[in-house]
Amino acid sequence: MKLTVNTFLSLDGVMQGPGGKDEDTSGGFERGGWLVPSADDDMGRIVDSWFDEADAILLGRTTFEMMQAYWEQVTEPDNAVATALNGLPKYVVSSTLTDPTWNNTTVLSQDFLEAIAELKAESGRELQVHGSYQLARALHDAGLVDEYRLLYFPVVVGQGKRLFDGGAVPSAFTLVRSETTSAGAVHMVLQPKPFAAGDFEVRDGKEGVRE
């Protein structure tokens, strides 16, 4: 299976509490719900398209518990997100969770990166990470992410958990596709590639690039 990271981000890279004031207040975060003013039909279509590709869901414990509390209540049969989250196999990375109540859930406790690598080796379409900033960062640093689907919203939050903060393993990316929603959010699909750098230089009076 292809491992994809799917998440909402502010312009300053914050991914904490996008959908509600009380969604994730850890660390004293007080600016939850920052994407709500920019939510529109385009966003809904994009998010539905993410879940349409999923064969399994991979989450960190905090995101798992937040999603379970919300999405178990949604029984509308035409809701693509609820159908996927409530029906598909779910894997949660946790060293303390022992008896999850969300159906079809497996806990990955020890050697979780090795376990995730084994899941990737199974047949299927996508093993999808949603939110789960610590898990997403660990997967990035381990080189296990095949594709990022990032929906950037036109807001600076100024505090909160970030997808790529200090110390992240350097990486470049290939832009597979992008689009802009009617509310001004930018959806980017990116595939990692080796980090590279170079220099600009002037040679014989002409500006150029030295790699």
Domains in the chain: ranges and CATH: 2-210 (3.40.430.10)
CA 167 to chain centroid, in Å, comes to 18
So what's the pLDDT on residue 193?
Answer: 97
Beta strands 186-193 and 147-153 are antiparallel
Residue spans of alpha helices (H) in the chain: 41-52, 61-71, 80-87, 112-120, 133-141
Q: How high is the pLDDT of residue 166?
A: 86
Contacts of 118 (CB under 8 A, 6+ apart): none
Alpha carbon distance 15, 162 (integer Å):
6
H helix or E strand, kind and range, residue 177: strand 172-180
| Distance from the first to the final alpha carbon of the chain | 35
* pLDDT at res. 94: 95
> pLDDT value at position 210?
81
- Cα distance between residue 141 and residue 70, in whole Å: 30
Is the separation of the CB atoms in 209 and 198 below 8 Å?
yes
Contacts for 77 with CB less than 8 Å, ≥ 6 apart: 83
Residues lower than pLDDT 70 in the chain: 211
Task: Note whether 158 and 32 are within 8 A (CB).
Answer: no
Instruction: Provide the residue count of the chain.
Output: 211
- Name the one residue in this structure whose structure tokens are 């807001």: 155
pTM, rounded to two decimals? 0.92
List 7's β-bridge partners, or say none: 150
Contact status, residue 137 vs residue 7, Cβ threshold 8 Å: no
Return the number of other C-beta atoms located less than 10 Å from residue 148's C-beta: 21
Which long-range contacts link 196-205 to residues 24+ away (Cβ below 8 Å)? 196/172
pLDDT recorded at residue 165: 87
